[in-house]
Amino acid sequence: MKVYNTLTRKKEEFIPIEPGKVKMYSCGPTVYNFFHIGNARPFIVFDVLRRYLEYRGMEVTFVQNFTDIDDKVIKKANEEGVTYDVIADRYIKEYFTDAGGLGIHPATVHPRATENIGEIIDIISGLVEKGYAYQSGGDVYYRTRAFKEYGKLSHQPLEELEAGARIDVSEHKEDPMDFALWKAAKPGEPSWDSPWGKGRPGWHIECSAMARRYLGETIDIHSGGIDLCFPHHENEIAQSEALSGKPFAHYWMHNAFLNIDNQKMSKSLGNFFTVREAAESYGYDAIRFFMLSAHYRSPLNYSREQLEQARAGLSRIYSALDNLRFLQQNAAAGEMTEDERQSTQTFDGWRSKFCEAMDDDLNTADAVSVIFELVRAVNTVAARPDVTAAYAQAALAILSELCGVLGIEKPEEQGADDSEIEALIEQRQTARKNRDFKEADRIRDELKARGIVLEDTPQGVKWHRA
């Protein structure tokens, strides 16, 4: 598999440190609010990367943190008159609700910054000892100029980064480009004991600490949105590599922005939709499918039309899957026909095409096209009156396999009781057999009122939700 590495600005063959094992770290959300569709993009994209690596037989250890202490969390807590952890707990819970809805598998570990204060202090102490960090008042800063490779991820020298950055000037810093590793406690803010007095960690240090604790000094893949490249990831590299003297991550992967009206969706601009809101309109599965319709390094524009298109695309896939499931139960038993056998002989080819797309820097857009082509091919064979259950089963297996890699799964229809609907369909069949057409029509109308559409096929009655 080839992946685009921001560090080298090239597509490179992905070679894990230890064959068959992958260590992956992705920057997670700051938990002070529901997450928006822009935030959902890295969560979905890197969930797909993880699923694909696992599909290709690798064992993936995936760490995604929760930033549970920062200015925004504290502000929200103060507004509500509660402690920071009440806010963090609430939005971590909401994260799992939305992430679950989006079909994002839980990471191997979801550590919180505040559970890793010991590790953070340990790293800062090491940096101070080595001369990469200094105490100033109750703060500790990273001495950016001491790390000669600073800027290697952004491919810009320190001077240019400095000119372009909005720098937090402080009289405590030796240099405007230095950044806080530890912040002295302020009144009304949560704080922890440290060798520099009471305080709390800066943002960048938490990822260096959690990556080291859960994955080790050198990891395979570090990922996040492109906005994190500078300064966050640049600072993570400076912290981790200055301390260990080893490369921090071999591959740096960044997703492009999710835009709205061609502007980055962000909380600070106020132009965002939460995943929760969008899911109410289109369904979680359509949001996921929409994200996969573009390559992760291409900007993606959020619009009603795009989401509706995703919904329609998903319906095509779902109805193919439903149809195959139905035929598997109800179509003719016995050997496949010659046409069917020929069709199944093309399945390996579809799988290879799918993998070829995914191997090319996770080209989910092309992988989705392969699924649509497969759906079309399978639908044609499955529409024949002599279709066999054996064919349906084989087609269902390949289609489910490829959909599963992307996490395309029909959500459980909540509140629906399928057995009750099937019982009503049975009753209608009996009524028809007894030529009680009035009763049969009554049941059909009742089902219709419940949003159930019936279809008579050579293999029996099929139903779906409208």
As a whole number of angstroms, the distance between CA 447 and CA 432 comes to: 15
As a whole number of angstroms, the distance between CA 185 and CA 193 comes to: 10
Which residue lies nearer to ligand AMP by CB, 28 or 381?
28
298, 81 contact by CB (below 8 A): no
DSSP 243-290: HHSS-SEEEEEEEPPEEETTEE--TTTT---BHHHHHHHH-HHHHHHH
236 is in an annotated binding site: yes
What are the beta bridge partners of residue 26?
64, 223
Q: Which does 231 bind (CB under 5 to 8 A by kind): Zn ion, ligand AMP, none?
A: none
Helix (H), strand (E) at residue 69: none
Shortest distance (Å) from residue 192 CB to Zn ion: 19
Give helix then strand counts, H and E, for the chain.
Answer: 16, 15
Shortest distance (Å) from residue 226 CB to ligand AMP: 7
Asked if 227 interacts with ligand AMP (CB under 6 A), we say yes
Half-sphere exposure of 82 (CA within 13 A, CB side): 12
Q: Which does 207 bind (CB under 5 to 8 A by kind): ligand AMP, Zn ion, none?
A: Zn ion
Asked if 225 interacts with ligand AMP (CB under 6 A), we say yes
Which residue lies nearer to ligand AMP by CB, 201 or 224?
224
Which residue lies nearer to Zn ion by CB, 151 or 231?
231
By CB atoms closer than 10 A (0-12, 13-18, 19+), residue 400 is middle
- For ligand AMP, how many residues bind (rule: CB under 6 A)? 17
Residues from 22 through 81 that contact ligand AMP (CB under 6 A): 27, 29-30, 38-39, 41-42
SS3 of 121, please?
helix
Q: Which does 258 bind (CB under 5 to 8 A by kind): Zn ion, ligand AMP, none?
A: ligand AMP
356 is in an annotated binding site: no
List residues near Zn ion by CB under 5 A. 27, 207
Residue whose beta carbon is closest to ligand AMP = 225
As a whole number of angstroms, the distance between CA 20 and CA 296 comes to: 24
Angle, helices 117-129/203-215, rounded to nearest 10 degrees: 100
207 is in an annotated binding site: yes
Out of 266, 271, 400, 427, the only residue in the binding site for ligand AMP (CB under 6 A) is 266
Shortest distance (Å) from residue 462 CB to ligand AMP: 40
Q: Which does 97 bind (CB under 5 to 8 A by kind): Zn ion, ligand AMP, none?
A: none
Out of 120, 153, 215, 258, the only residue in the binding site for ligand AMP (CB under 6 A) is 258
Which residues make up each annotated binding site for ATP?
Answer: 267
- Which residue ranges make up the annotated binding site? 27, 207, 232, 236, 267
